[in-house]
Copies of this chain bind each other. A is one copy, B any other.
Amino acid sequence: MERTITPNIYYVTGGARSGKSSFALQLAKPYYSRVFLATAEPFDGEMVQRISKHREERGEQFTTVEEPLALDRALLHLPEGTDVVLLDCLTVWTGNLMHYGEGKGEGEIDQQIERFLEVLRHPPCDMILVSNEVGMGIVPENAMARRFRDIAGIINQRVAALATEAWLLCSGLPIRLK
């Protein structure tokens, strides 16, 4: 007799430097075979520094997979036996979607999002998804920034709706959302 266990999805959000990534790393600790799915691309010196700092913090305990856009594809081709994927982060992904999706029509971005959500409905293993709160400041004067805020917020809502657990980090302390 076979028994199916639905994998868990942990959603972790918060502001910049709120402790999201450290909290997500803690959630990943009990797992054996861990994949870190990185969405950030080192396009300038500041990013190179931030990325290498994060890589140091998580040490040797993760297999790193870098995928700026096609998260669905990355999740469907994980290394054999992966127990957990820590995806950091959805907000950088939003920026990538906008950057690469530009000129390809509105549909391109929506399709990437839908494909990702489709994988989340039947996740290949437990998932820890890190995102950012970007909508609690003054309305940006820049139309592109407003659009970014809209897309990031909608992704957060849709992903959080599919999560088993959801947390908001604030000053390093977690608030349970779900």
Tell me, rounded to whole Å, the shortest Cβ–Cβ distance linking A141 to chain B.
Answer: 8
Distance of A148 Cα from B178 Cα, bound (Å): 31
User: Is A34's beta carbon under 8 Å from chain B?
Assistant: no
Assess whether A139 is interfacial by the CB under 8 Å rule. yes
Other 5 A-B pairs with CB < 8 A, given A15-B134, A136-B136, A156-B172: A15-B136, A16-B150, A18-B156, A46-B143, A153-B171
Complex Cα distance A16/B137, Å? 9
- The quantity of this chain's copies bound in the complex is 3
Question: Does any Cβ of B come within 8 Å of A38's Cβ?
Answer: no
Kindly list chain B residues whose C-beta atoms are within 8 Å of the C-beta of A133.
15, 135-136, 170-171
> A146 to B17, alpha carbons, bound, how many Å?
10
